[in-house]
């Protein structure tokens, strides 16, 4: 969309709406000015610009739905020190495997199918897995037409971002090195692994290339300094990143076959990214609710929550965070089970996924624009750091500030609507933007309305690609019964969680449930607590010494 100057209708509506506030709100070209002070908002108020979403500190970039099996691939591929050239296509390799094998036609087809099953995922358009670092360093993912697939959920910066250490304001280089060394290690390759890699790399330019953690960190150093450095609010929820670092260490220490290790690392990333998306949606959504309530002098919605544990350095606070245990789930059985709207797993999904998560892009855009409005009228460092709690407190006690802030937010809402409509809105249509309520409320509602067709692409589509069973295969948190979605932990995810929580010791069942809360997870009710225990017992991961919870122990087998 063009970022040309606002329409005459927008200028007229903004000027008229500003009069009661006693402020001079004007437009200089496409820039909004309040009493001669420029409101520092993006010129382009649509699309997925990082600055508009205010994604710094939350994620390294605005995500979009894509195959989760490509997460780790991008991390390794971008850790190559030199510029990659002449990358080969993974689809072409898959099609040529049978011809490369020294067997007769039928035997070659059978062997090729076995190799594809081991080194590719099982999707309609199969993608090569990062079983060994030489594959991402020499190949690229391609679509069904054989062309490079440039679209991705996250770039390689997702790994160093998730390994951020707030206490030293830097990436955990040692752990990132361990991760890259793991996929570059040749010592535990089986004969089949080596045979496949020899076939795949026989015509490659740089078969000996290895990933470098420092190279990957350097690639994103400027972005991290801008988003997480001095003068910023820092990273959102450092305790959750500390938990990821601990969990990554656990998985790296786990003895697994190479393909299984790659899948577990991918599932670990998927679990933590999903929990982070949900956490952002719940916490930041609640903060915006509080600001809207302060701006409109109304009560805060009952189910809006805010979090005060961000400065904490210990992951233990995650078990008492407002997000803890909100993802109420049931345990998968592999068979059919009816789901009802009254079931906790379904009710939690409707509240957290269909409502909060779907609204997350609008929440983040509203948060950014509201803080830019506050900054123009003296919000200072708190406004720069998008401190919504401080904004709500200021609006609640200062009627003058409240009137000014609402007036600026109303003007931004009109500009927002005008851009999305390419300057074709009538005066009446723009007046309707402001008619829904005070400026802060009007801004959020217009962002929601104009982004309605796009909201799911930056929120629910991402989670669906990460944790919905029909998209991911084993290792899922979400399932569907026809059109009803609900939280359901499948067997592979349950095994991973046992390993993460128990590591190498037996954990009392009640303690295991408590530690699940750090990931946002909790059984939907007491009956499901028993079902979960039965599932663990069936998997050989629960020792029962009596019927009492304190006499049952969970362990990784």
pLDDT digits 0-9 by tens, 409-458: 999 999 999 999 998 999 999 999 999 888 999 999 999 999 998 888 88
Using the predicted structure, report yes or no on whether residue 218 has a pLDDT greater than 90.
Answer: yes
CA distance 431 to 425: 10
pLDDT confidence of residue 150: 66
44 in helix, strand or coil? Answer: coil
296 near 441, Cβ under 8 Å?
yes
Mean pLDDT, range 9-28, rounded to an integer: 84
CA distance 353 to 456: 10
Pairing of strands 327-331, 484-489: parallel
CA distance 436 to 425: 17
Mean pLDDT, range 529-549, rounded to an integer: 87
> Could you read off the pLDDT of 282-302 as tens digits, one per residue?
999 999 999 999 999 999 888
Helix, strand, coil % over all residues of the chain, rounded to 5: 55, 10, 35
Using the predicted structure, report yes or no on whether residue 138 has a pLDDT greater than 80.
Answer: yes
**How would residue 548 be classed by pLDDT, with cut points 50, 70 and 90?**
low
Q: How far is CA 20 from CA 14, 26, 32, 178, in A?
A: 11, 14, 18, 61
70 near 169, Cβ under 8 Å?
no
Using the predicted structure, report yes or no on whether residue 549 has a pLDDT greater than 60.
Answer: no
pLDDT confidence of residue 550: 63
Using the predicted structure, report yes or no on whether residue 309 has a pLDDT greater than 80.
Answer: no
Using the predicted structure, report yes or no on whether residue 145 has a pLDDT greater than 90.
Answer: no
Secondary structure in 3-state letters for 456-494: HHHCHHHHHHHHEHHHHCCCCCEEEECCEEEEEECHHHH
pLDDT confidence of residue 317: 86
328 near 344, Cβ under 8 Å?
yes
CA distance 527 to 328: 12
Mean pLDDT, range 266-295, rounded to an integer: 96
CA distance 542 to 532: 10
- The DSSP result for 426-459, as a single string, is -HHHHHHHHHTSSHHHHHHHHHHHHTTTTGGGGT
pLDDT confidence of residue 4: 61
pLDDT confidence of residue 217: 96
Mean pLDDT, range 118-143, rounded to an integer: 91
pLDDT confidence of residue 2: 39
The CB density around residue 320, as the number of other CB atoms within 10 Å, is 12
Lowest mean pLDDT among 79-83, 300-304, 345-349, 547-551: 547-551
Mean pLDDT, range 509-531, rounded to an integer: 96
Mean pLDDT, range 114-138, rounded to an integer: 91
CA distance 172 to 191: 33
pLDDT confidence of residue 311: 47
Lowest mean pLDDT among 96-100, 202-206, 238-242: 202-206
Please state the pTM of the whole predicted model.
0.94
- Of 444, 376, 367, the closest CA to residue 54 belongs to 367
Mean pLDDT, range 339-368, rounded to an integer: 95
Instruction: Show the tokens assigned to 366.
Output: 């509203």
CA distance 9 to 307: 41
pLDDT confidence of residue 151: 63
Q: What is the DSSP letter of 518?
A: G
- The full set of domain ranges for the chain reads 8-52+357-458, 68-235
**How would residue 3 be classed by pLDDT, with cut points 50, 70 and 90?**
very low
CA distance 516 to 519: 6
Mean pLDDT, range 138-152, rounded to an integer: 82
107 near 180, Cβ under 8 Å?
no
**Phi/psi of residue 240, each to 5°?**
-70, -35
Q: What rounded mean pLDDT belongs to the chain?
A: 90
pLDDT confidence of residue 1: 33
- Percent of the chain predicted with pLDDT > 90: 68
pLDDT confidence of residue 245: 97
CA distance 168 to 488: 37
232 near 310, Cβ under 8 Å?
no
- Contacts (Cβ under 8 Å, ≥6 apart) of 207: 134, 138, 201
Instruction: Show the tokens assigned to 309.
Output: 């544990």
462 near 58, Cβ under 8 Å?
no
> Could you read off the pLDDT of 481-494 as tens digits, one per residue?
888 999 999 999 99
Q: Count Cα atoms within 13 angstroms, Cβ side, for 58.
A: 27
Q: How far is CA 412 from CA 43, 169, 420, 489, in A?
A: 11, 34, 12, 43
Instruction: Show the tokens assigned to 468.
Output: 């919905």
**How would residue 314 be classed by pLDDT, with cut points 50, 70 and 90?**
low
| β-sheet bridge partners, residue 171 | 164
Between residues 546 and 508, which one has the greater pLDDT?
Answer: 508
Q: How far is CA 403 from CA 111, 377, 395, 439, in A?
A: 72, 11, 9, 9
pLDDT confidence of residue 233: 87
Mean pLDDT, range 31-50, rounded to an integer: 87
Secondary structure in 3-state letters for 65-116: CCCHHHHHHHHHHCCCCCCCCCCEEHHHHHHHHHHHCCCCHHHHHHHHHHHH
Instruction: Show the tokens assigned to 395.
Output: 């609006």
Mean pLDDT, range 530-552, rounded to an integer: 86
**Phi/psi of residue 38, each to 5°?**
-75, 135
CA distance 195 to 225: 43
CA distance 356 to 92: 41
544 near 552, Cβ under 8 Å?
yes
Q: How far is CA 503 from CA 159, 370, 496, in A?
A: 22, 44, 10
Mean pLDDT, range 18-42, rounded to an integer: 83
């Amino acid at each position: 969309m063009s970022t040309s100057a606002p329409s005459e209708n927008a200028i007229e509506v903004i000027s008229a709406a500003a009069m009661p506030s006693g402020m001079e709100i004007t437009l200089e070209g496409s820039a909004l000015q309040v009493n001669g002070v420029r409101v520092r908002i993006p010129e382009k108020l649509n699309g997925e610009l990082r600055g508009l979403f205010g994604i710094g500190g939350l994620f390294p970039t605005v995500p979009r739905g894509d195959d989760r099996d490509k997460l780790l691939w991008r991390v390794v591929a971008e850790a190559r020190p030199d510029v990659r050239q002449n990358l080969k296509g993974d689809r072409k390799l898959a099609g040529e495997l049978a011809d490369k094998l020294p067997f007769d036609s039928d035997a070659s087809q059978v062997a090729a199918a076995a190799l594809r099953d081991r080194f590719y995922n099982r999707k309609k358009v199969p993608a090569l897995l990062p079983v060994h670092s030489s594959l991402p360093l020499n190949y690229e993912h391609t679509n069904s037409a054989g062309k490079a697939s440039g679209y991705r959920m996250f770039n390689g910066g997702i790994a160093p971002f998730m390994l951020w250490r707030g206490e030293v304001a830097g990436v955990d280089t040692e752990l990132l090195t361990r991760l890259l060394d793991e996929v570059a290690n040749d010592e535990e390759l089986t004969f089949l692994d080596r045979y496949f890699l020899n076939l795949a790399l026989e015509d490659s330019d740089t078969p000996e290339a290895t990933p470098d953690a420092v190279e990957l960190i350097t690639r994103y150093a400027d972005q991290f300094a801008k988003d997480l450095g001095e003068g910023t609010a820092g990273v959102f929820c450092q305790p959750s990143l500390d938990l990821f670092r601990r969990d990554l260490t656990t998985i790296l220490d786990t003895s697994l076959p190479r393909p299984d290790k790659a899948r577990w690392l991918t599932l670990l990333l998927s679990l933590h990214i999903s929990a982070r998306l949900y956490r952002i949606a719940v916490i930041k959504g609640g903060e915006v609710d509080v600001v809207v309530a302060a701006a409109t002098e109304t009560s805060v919605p009952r189910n809006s929550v805010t979090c005060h544990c961000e400065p904490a350095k210990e992951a233990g606070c995650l078990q008492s965070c407002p997000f803890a245990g909100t993802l109420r789930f049931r345990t998968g059985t592999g068979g059919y089970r009816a789901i009802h709207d009254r079931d906790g797993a379904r009710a939690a999904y409707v509240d957290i996924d269909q409502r909060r998560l779907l609204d997350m892009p609008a929440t983040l855009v509203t948060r950014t624009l509201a803080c830019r409005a506050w900054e123009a009228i003296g919000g200072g460092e708190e406004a720069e750091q998008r401190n919504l709690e401080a904004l709500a407190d200021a609006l609640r006690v200062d009627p003058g500030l409240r009137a000014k802030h609402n007036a600026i937010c109303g003007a931004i809402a009109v500009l927002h609507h005008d851009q999305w409509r390419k300057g074709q809105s009538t005066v009446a249509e723009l007046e309707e933007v402001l008619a829904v309520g005070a400026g802060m409320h009007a801004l959020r509602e217009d962002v929601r309305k104009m982004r309605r067709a796009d909201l799911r692409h930056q929120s629910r589509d991402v989670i669906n690609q990460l944790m919905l069973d029909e998209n991911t295969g084993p290792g899922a948190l979400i399932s569907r019964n026809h059109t009803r979605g609900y939280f359901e932990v499948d067997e592979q995810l349950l095994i991973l969680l046992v390993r993460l929580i128990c590591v190498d010791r037996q954990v009392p069942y009640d303690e295991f449930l408590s530690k699940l809360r750090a990931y946002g997870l909790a059984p939907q009710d007491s009956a499901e607590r028993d079902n979960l225990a039965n599932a663990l017992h069936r998997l050989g991961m629960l020792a029962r010494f009596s019927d009492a919870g304190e006499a049952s122990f969970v362990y990784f087998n």
